Every structure is written in structure tokens, then in C-alpha cells.
Amino acid sequence: MAIRLGDIAPDFTAESTAGTIRFHEWLGSSWGILFSHPKDFTPVCTTELGAVAKLKPEFDKRNVKVVGLSVDSVADHDRWKGDIEETQGVGLNFPLLGDPDRKISQLYDMIHPNANDTLTVRSVFVIGPDKKVKLTITYPASTGRNFDEILRVIDSLQLTAQHSVATPVNWQHGQDVIIVPSLSDEDAKKKFPGGWKTLKPYLRVVPQPK
Ligand code: BEZ
């Protein structure tokens, strides 16, 4: 069954390029990203894994653990690693799960038979410290994802969790944010003593909290 926002991310145990991963235990109290790619030794996937490896310090800064997956074996991932380093200029610095029996792919509904009945699509799941799914994205095999956008969403989710603010269209880090509608003016005064700009009673704009 499809996984929906707010669901508990299904737990699993699987082998990875960094050894056995018990997913919930591995996540601990961190945020997490679980993403699938269709196949090892394919061009778009090679560029994506290089991009994620380059962004690893940004994920670390945000307390986010990243793990990738495809239906290939860990042995295949290990053989592919050298190509990623050679062509993308960065070594794989996060675990890749092997899923040759498709256990996790099926658990997370990452195989869409009308697209391809054996390979995973490009799925992304962002998981909060409460193990709940905060974001799902599905891209086709032929389109590499924009992992800067995934970082942007994580910044937004973490601001919401910590400061009761939401982020407007095309928001970028440092720009003004919006006080969530569920916060009354009375409670907002305590959280935002510097005040805010009311464009409409439901549209209250404040500088991004630090
Ligand atoms: C790729 O990563 O390049 C790719 C994988 C599967 C289908 C199409 C492209």
C-alpha cells in the first residue's frame, strides 16, 4: 500500500554498503532520507549519487541521515562505487541498501509496474525524528532529482517543527516566513515578540527565525 504523509515509516533490517542496517535503530533521533534509484551502473543514477555525496555535509548540519536503495545487491553497489568516485569526483559517503529480493521496495511501494515492473522508480521519503513520513516524492527514471530542493524542504520542515512557521511559495533559506494559521495572535505574540506583518488575518509574515 502507498505510504502517506504522517504514516510511521515502515521498519526493516537490510544489508548495505555500510553493513547491516536496522532502519529505526539506525535513524535514532535523527531526521532521515530514504531514496531509491532504478539501477546501478546507469548514467542518471551515477550523477544523483555523486550529488548526494557532495551534499552530505549539508545533511549532517541538519541532523539528517541519508540512505539510498536499489534492487541491486550490495556487491553490485560496491563494484559501482569506483565509477561514482571517478566520474563525479566524490566517493560514496552514505550507505546504499541492497534489495535484490525487493523486500524494501515493496514495503515502500517503490516499484510502479506500469512504469517498470522490476526496477524501483526515483522515490524519496523524508522521515522525522518521530519516525513519521514528512515528504514523499516520486520521479521517473529518466529525470534526475534536485537534491537542493530536498534540502530546502528539510529546512522548511525543521522551521515548522521548531518555530510554528510555514514557508511560502519558492521560499529560500533566510527569506520571510509565515506564522502557521493554527497559532492564535495571542500565542504568536509570545513566540514573535518583535511582531509580524498582517497582510490578511490568515497571512502573517515574519522574518525567518534563526
Ligand atoms: C539512469 O539512471 O540513467 C536510468 C536508469 C533507468 C532508466 C533510465 C535511466
Same domain, 99 and 175: no
pLDDT tens profile 102-141: 999 999 999 999 999 999 999 999 999 999 999 999 999 9
Cell numbers at residue 97, please?
541498501
- Does residue 38's CB lie within 6 angstroms of at least one atom of ligand 1? yes
Q: Quick check: is 109 in a domain?
A: yes
Same domain, 46 and 132: yes
Cell numbers at residue 102, please?
525487493
Rounded CA separation 125/158 (Å): 15
Same domain, 18 and 119: yes
Same domain, 122 and 32: yes
% pLDDT > 90, the chain: 99
Atom 1 of ligand 1, nearest CA residue: 44
Residue 61 clears pLDDT 80, i.e. is over it: yes
Same domain, 117 and 183: no
- Which of 44, 84, 111 is the pocket-test mutation for ligand 1 (most atoms within 8 Å of CB)? 44
Q: Domain total for the chain?
A: 2
- Does residue 121's CB lie within 6 angstroms of at least one atom of ligand 1? no
Cα R_g (the chain), whole angstroms: 19
- The model scores a pTM over 0.85: yes
Same domain, 190 and 136: no
Q: Quick check: is 1 in a domain?
A: no
Same domain, 93 and 33: yes
Q: Compute φ and ψ for 82, nearest 5 degrees.
A: -60, -35
Q: Quick check: is 31 in a domain?
A: yes
Same domain, 140 and 167: no
Same domain, 100 and 196: no
Q: Quick check: is 151 in a domain?
A: no
Query: What is the CATH classification number for the domain harbouring 178?
Result: 3.30.1020.10
- Does residue 144's CB lie within 6 angstroms of at least one atom of ligand 1? no
Residue 142, judged by CB atoms within 10 A of its CB (0-12, 13-18, 19+), counts as exposed
Same domain, 19 and 122: yes
Q: Quick check: is 33 in a domain?
A: yes
Q: Is the CB of residue 71 less than 8 Å from the CB of residue 112?
A: no
Q: Quick check: is 4 in a domain?
A: no
Taken in order 63, 131, 190, 205, the sign of the CA dihedral is: positive
Same domain, 83 and 22: yes
Structural domain of 92: 13-145
Residue 1 clears pLDDT 80, i.e. is over it: no
Query: What is the CATH classification number for the domain harbouring 86?
Result: 3.40.30.10
Per-residue pLDDT band at 144 (split at 50, 70, 90)? very high
Same domain, 126 and 56: yes
pLDDT of the residue at 210:
85
pLDDT tens profile 169-206: 999 999 999 999 999 999 999 999 999 999 999 999 99
Q: Quick check: is 180 in a domain?
A: yes
- Does residue 84's CB lie within 6 angstroms of at least one atom of ligand 1? no
Q: Quick check: is 154 in a domain?
A: no
- Which of 35, 36, 37, 39 is the pocket-test mutation for ligand 1 (most atoms within 8 Å of CB)? 39
pLDDT of the residue at 107:
98
